Structure 1
Amino acid sequence: MRVVPSELRGVLLFLPEPRHDRRGLFTRTFDTAVAARHGIDASTFRQDSQSRSRRGVLRGLHGRSGRGESKLVRCARGAVHDVLVDARPDSATFGRHVAFRLDDQDFAHLFVPAGFLHGFQALTDEADVCYRIDAEHDPAEDLAVRYDDPQLAIDWPLPISVLSERDGAAGSWTDLRVALG
């Protein structure tokens, strides 16, 4: 398994090496020893979640206040355009975003450190995204920024087909910056 650091400090892309044969394939999608060599303690993960989305659905941009949460994200079925925004006020890359294609061909895992906003758009008819999260969900800590905020200028690859009410009513990047101090 290769590990590729992102231009945003702490964001890592874990790239498994699928083995193909006449039966199909086998791959290791996560390895605690590899994670530990890159500063991730897998024993801290508290919850696994999964979402299923249809082509064009956009989920995000979501984050957590307080201590925040770190998570491992992968697309188990289909493909998504996955976006992270650095919302750590003390970071040199505060306000910058980075995008990754996660799919069921490469099986990449994306490590998202605490302090990031996260969102994705389904690129295929159906896309299943799996999350391994290191903090229990507390709705009082939910943060959300509009996916189309002009200051972030995120280029989503498809027209938005469905957006939740919460995401449609999300605040601006400017408002979040003020709230973060």
Structure 2
Amino acid sequence: MNILPTEIPDVLIVEPKVFSDARGFFFESFNRQAFAEKTGVTAEFVQDNHSRSAQNILRGLHYQIQQPQGKLVRVVVGEIFDVAVDIRKNSPTFSKWVGCRLSAENCRQLWIPPGFAHGFLAVSEVAEVLYKTTEYYAPQYDRCILWDDPDIGIDWPLNGASPILSAKDQAGKAFKTAEVFEH
């Protein structure tokens, strides 16, 4: 496993060691001991989620204001542009974002710690995303920031297309009025 830093030190790209041959490939998608040794993160994952999206579907920017979730995100079909936004008010990277491409081909994963909003755009015809979370889904604490908020300024690779959004994502809050993490 190789760990790549991002512009926000707490958000990490995880590259597993992939063993390929004429039959296909094999890799360990998660090993708690190796993950903790390489990242310093000792999170306990309590829930696995799986989503399927068509091209240009944009999901996010989601977070839970209580019971915040750390997420380990990977793609098993297609490709996404995955984004983490630091919404920890006392953080030196507050309001900053990082994005990276995760795909079935590159086998990369993105570690997004608690205290971040998360979103992704399906850039391939179809994308299936698996992610582990450190807290259970709690709908009463679920929050959403507008995907195109100008104060965050995410450079989504839409190539002139309009994103396809859920009603929840269309009704997201402006960053200036969104609840953020105070500690």
TM-score (norm: length of structure 1) = 0.93
Q: Match of 2:30?
A: 30
Q: Match of 1:65?
A: 65
What is the RMSD of the two structures over their aligned residues, measured on CA atoms?
A: 1.4
* Worse-matched range after superposition: 86-95 or 8-17: 8-17
Distance 1:13 1:149 in 2: 24
Q: Match of 2:40?
A: 39
Q: Match of 1:14?
A: 14
The structural deviation recorded for 1:161 is 4.0
Distance 1:148 1:66 in 2: 24
State which of 159, 162, 171 in structure 2 corresponds to 1:160. Answer: 162
Provide the identity percentage: 37
- Write the mapping of 1:114-125 to structure 2, written as runs, cut at 5 A: 114-125=114-125
The list of structure 1 runs, each at least 4 consecutive aligned residues, that deviate by more than 6 angstroms after superposition, is none
Distance 1:31 1:137 in 2: 23
Deviation string 1:98-128 (CA, Å, 9 cap, x unpaired) is: 0010001111111110000000000111100
Q: Match of 1:129?
A: 129
What number of residue pairs does the alignment pair up? 179
Tell me if the contact between 1:29 and 1:108 (Cα under 8 Å) persists in the aligned partners.
Answer: no
Structure 1: state its 5+ residue gaps: none
TM-score (norm: length of structure 2) = 0.92
* Worse-matched range after superposition: 54-63 or 29-38: 29-38
The structural deviation recorded for 1:40 is 2.2
Tell me if the contact between 2:67 and 2:141 (Cα under 8 Å) persists in the aligned partners.
Answer: no
